[in-house]
Structure 1
């Protein structure tokens, strides 16, 4: 039986992992494959019939070598690339060989970021305001003209290498140095920062027809850098967002003159419109065109791009199914890789298609700054978004890359705390002991309302319990793991939901950065995160976005707004992005910052709570319970868990301390999971809480301080340090597991 490309000679520019699928497809269908790459050890080189040792960026030299091969060894019928910015080399080679392709000047417009933006702006396709510079002094002028919130990037590199956001002049020099390091031409671009959701769009182009072959949500993290930590295909954004991004992408493709082959766009969609980030004359990298789109739709894009470049026209591009595929990066803690486990376990998980580990034992793991700084990837595909999400986070958690931190990777606590103190501008004093004394009455701010005694008492009452140690036992190996709502946690600690970055934290950090730091830092420490609702009516969307970015590994807590329809809207949004559960801060029925923003909150009847629970299929949590009667009513309607909390003393300074309410509530709820929120500051505090009846604890202000001081790394460090303290405390009371400490009621002695 003849094969589709029998007798055809095809050149693939690039022999890396991203080009491997198209190389394999060409060989599978009988083509003679010529691979161009300067690295003879590239994986695609080993699959080649003919290897050409030439740089993928050296268009003229590569074209001359291929011309000689075509004349002397193997006729060439097509030239292409996938997933790398070699479209100019492809165009030059195609023209030299007389095979299908775009004009070199078109490819140049789709490669050089400055030329691309000039072309798009002239065609009235929206792009951020920008200028190209080649000196630092000129960069300062442009930075100030653009208003001080900018992105600095090389004009001629890909994969987010050398790209950084800059908000202050102090950071501009470092950002420029980084961009100059990654540019081949000595030119860098400074453009206005645009905040919005990001879409990745793929298309095949033939005879001016743009055939869309994938629209995905890009997950971008690790500010001030732009690291794509995954994508979700198809996009889960509202239809109006997708259509807005699609319109700008298609206009951009036409303006650049891409009339044949492929086009790939990164598009930002904001409330005021869509903007082109990048448009390239190729199919996307990042496993979208090669893996997630084919998995989700059954359409073979590698076969189709080969057909196009071999002059055979498009094949079948009609989707065979509408599944959801997710690619997610594996990013372990910083340090030297000591052990890699769980690959086979991850591959065995239902809906997991690929587990790709890029690192080996002995490699150095650094904080990601671009799309190459990742330890690996998992790719899943399932009939529904929720199934795909669940499989993706199962797979990522199964792959364990253990690292040993180097001295330079260890967080300098004094530096982090001083940085946080400076950024708070007096809204938080970053006290050595976060006990509520110095910030009493600071609401707005981080203190307790009124005289601040609600906050102060939560800490004091927990500490009145002295712990009786035990040294004659065999609990030297301690297992801190526990389970909650069917998920395994590395310890019984989660961050509390925190919002109000502007109102309460004095603008020390943006709301998005705060939520990202808390959720991602918690996830990296092996627990799930939480996000809050906030007084501003639209603020909940930030939390929803962060839940989506972190593949559902967070729980949102919403305010008890007077209009139940607003609560339902928020809960359904959380369910749509795969949240673990949803919760309501019932104690925010009277809340200063809500009143300041004229947002009405009220107490809710148990019937209203039951009605709200029926609106979602997720586990349902009530936060702010201090009354045994309230707890009993919640039990009767099937609430999944309760958070015993006085809202950090920010609702009233007259309420009972959470730790005093905890034993009374445990008496009436039986085995219902209870989370204690209030005053937890150490591993010993966790021991106290569990021995008094809690299953988990929440920590609020200290997590917030470390988020402001050092982002994701700060939160991860704080929680890991708390984990170390808790492990030591468990051992010193003779308990080897979390369940065992819950049974040791005799280890506490109450000071009167």
Structure 2
């Protein structure tokens, strides 16, 4: 199976902290696609959040706004773009799956734009759903009291029960397997929102994304649930960053469990990280208060890591602050 993203903190890097630096003031603010946020830790799209807590995406939206960071709403949310917008101000991105019926896609993108969403995170690694054995075993489907609210009224808001996974059957029937780079161009003709390409793991696809007008790259392996033997996101990150050559920002999605993980990603060139499972777990435990708490915990850990590494602002976090497994295998020059 794919290397579990939970090995992120153990597997990859060691710190090279700098000392005797005045760290009495730490600035964690940053700008993402022109929007200022309080820290480079944002919320990834996770589907069907009302399965975790009755307030679902409402709670997550309020918590992310209170934390001064970005929430990404899933296409498969159990709250609609309009409902999430109604929770109040906040910077929000919209994650998009491309359906076979492009009229549905165009309508949804325009609704997100009208609702004040600021960018599209186009998921590109799911022309077919990976073999999720737990879903098959449990015959997973959306509970009857919930719907995919963005598709309510389009006869696409419910999942039928299946002999294996209801989600897999839904994806097979609705998601467009012909999706290609030309569709990134097509999306640019129907929206003014910048498009982030989510699901990139290689230098080759990074260059193609930039050539086709992507405003940014999200390094993601879909929570390690799509294809076995792909690298952990932190392992793929530096290859993507080098290929981007600073032309667009690169973000990391997946595997972040501590503030130290976020620091490693920034040291390897990421402009920020997106967290998924920690938010859902916190939502299930304590609703909005839980999501607020997990964001505060990650913020505090990240700030402490910066201070103990001798960094007072994000621009001071560099590749020289970490040593990776690959570095350990390189010959050391003799003085």
TM-score, length basis structure 2: 0.80
Whether 1:596 and 2:169 are equivalent positions in the alignment is yes
**1:11-31 Cα distance to aligned partner (Å, 9 max, x none):** xxxxxxxxxxxxxxxxxxxxx
Whether 1:748 and 2:322 are equivalent positions in the alignment is yes
For residues 21 and 66 of structure 2, what CA distance do their matches in structure 1 show? 32
What's the offset of the Cα at 1:750?
2.0
Q: Which residue of 2 aligns with 1:533?
A: 75
| Secondary structure of the corresponding residue to residue 681 of structure 1 | coil
Q: Which residue of 1 aligns with 2:122?
A: 584
| Secondary structure of the corresponding residue to residue 550 of structure 1 | coil
**1:694-739 Cα distance to aligned partner (Å, 9 max, x none):** 0010111111111122122211111011111111100111110011
Q: Which residue of 2 aligns with 1:706?
A: 282
For residues 129 and 85 of structure 2, what CA distance do their matches in structure 1 show? 25
Q: Which residue of 2 aligns with 1:472?
A: 20
Whether 1:559 and 2:97 are equivalent positions in the alignment is yes
- Retained in 1: the 8 A contact 2:252–2:265? yes
What's the offset of the Cα at 1:670?
2.1
Gaps of 5+ in 2: 131-165, 329-335
Q: Which residue of 1 aligns with 2:186?
A: 611
Distance 1:617 1:548, change over 3 A: farther
Which of 250, 258, 264 is 1:674 aligned to?
A: 250
For residues 582 and 526 of structure 1, what CA distance do their matches in structure 2 show? 19
What's the offset of the Cα at 1:689?
0.3
What's the offset of the Cα at 1:637?
2.4
| Secondary structure of the corresponding residue to residue 735 of structure 1 | coil
| Secondary structure of the corresponding residue to residue 470 of structure 1 | coil
Which of 690, 711, 727 is 2:266 aligned to?
A: 690
For residues 676 and 642 of structure 1, what CA distance do their matches in structure 2 show? 8
Whether 1:547 and 2:71 are equivalent positions in the alignment is no
| Secondary structure of the corresponding residue to residue 587 of structure 1 | coil
For residues 608 and 508 of structure 1, what CA distance do their matches in structure 2 show? 33
What's the offset of the Cα at 1:656?
2.0
Q: Which residue of 2 aligns with 1:520?
A: 62
- Retained in 2: the 8 A contact 1:519–1:546? yes
For residues 119 and 216 of structure 2, what CA distance do their matches in structure 1 show? 10
For residues 557 and 727 of structure 1, what CA distance do their matches in structure 2 show? 28
Q: Which residue of 2 aligns with 1:624?
A: 199
**1:440-485 Cα distance to aligned partner (Å, 9 max, x none):** xxxxxxxxxxx4x34x0x3325532011222222233110100111
For residues 655 and 553 of structure 1, what CA distance do their matches in structure 2 show? 31
Q: Looking at CA atoms only, which structure, 1 or 2, has the larger radius of gyration?
A: 1
Q: Which residue of 1 aligns with 2:7?
A: 460
What's the offset of the Cα at 1:615?
0.6
**1:293-314 Cα distance to aligned partner (Å, 9 max, x none):** xxxxxxxxxxxxxxxxxxxxxx
Q: Which residue of 2 aligns with 1:481?
A: 29
| Secondary structure of the corresponding residue to residue 198 of structure 2 | strand
Q: Which residue of 2 aligns with 1:724?
A: 300
- Retained in 2: the 8 A contact 1:515–1:546? yes
Which of 735, 738, 744 is 2:311 aligned to?
A: 735
What's the offset of the Cα at 1:542?
1.9
For residues 473 and 612 of structure 1, what CA distance do their matches in structure 2 show? 47
Distance 1:587 1:544, change over 3 A: farther
- Retained in 2: the 8 A contact 1:540–1:570? no
What's the offset of the Cα at 1:541?
6.0
For residues 628 and 603 of structure 1, what CA distance do their matches in structure 2 show? 22
What is the correspondence of 1:104-115 to structure 2 with a 5 Å cutoff? none
Gaps of 5+ in 1: 1-450
Runs of 4+ in 1 over 4 A off after TM superposition: none
Distance 1:625 1:727, change over 3 A: same
For residues 224 and 88 of structure 2, what CA distance do their matches in structure 1 show? 30
> Which structure shows the bigger proportion of residues in helix conformation?
2
- Retained in 2: the 8 A contact 1:518–1:530? no
| Secondary structure of the corresponding residue to residue 256 of structure 2 | coil
Distance 1:541 1:617, change over 3 A: farther
What's the offset of the Cα at 1:556?
1.1
Q: Which has the higher contact order (CA 8 A, sep 6+)?
A: 2
For residues 540 and 632 of structure 1, what CA distance do their matches in structure 2 show? 34
- Retained in 2: the 8 A contact 1:468–1:747? yes
What's the offset of the Cα at 1:580?
1.3
For residues 527 and 657 of structure 1, what CA distance do their matches in structure 2 show? 25
| Secondary structure of the corresponding residue to residue 654 of structure 1 | coil
For residues 9 and 205 of structure 2, what CA distance do their matches in structure 1 show? 22
Distance 1:580 1:700, change over 3 A: same
What's the offset of the Cα at 1:564?
2.8
- Retained in 2: the 8 A contact 1:560–1:588? no
What's the offset of the Cα at 1:588?
2.0
- Retained in 1: the 8 A contact 2:93–2:117? yes
Q: Which residue of 2 aligns with 1:491?
A: 39
Distance 1:687 1:552, change over 3 A: closer
What's the offset of the Cα at 1:508?
3.6
**1:650-689 Cα distance to aligned partner (Å, 9 max, x none):** 2122212211211111112122111101211111111100
> Which structure shows the bigger proportion of residues in strand conformation?
1
What is the correspondence of 1:313-328 to structure 2 with a 5 Å cutoff? none
Q: Which residue of 2 aligns with 1:509?
A: 53
For residues 189 and 120 of structure 2, what CA distance do their matches in structure 1 show? 12
What is the correspondence of 1:133-212 to structure 2 with a 5 Å cutoff? none
For residues 641 and 602 of structure 1, what CA distance do their matches in structure 2 show? 23
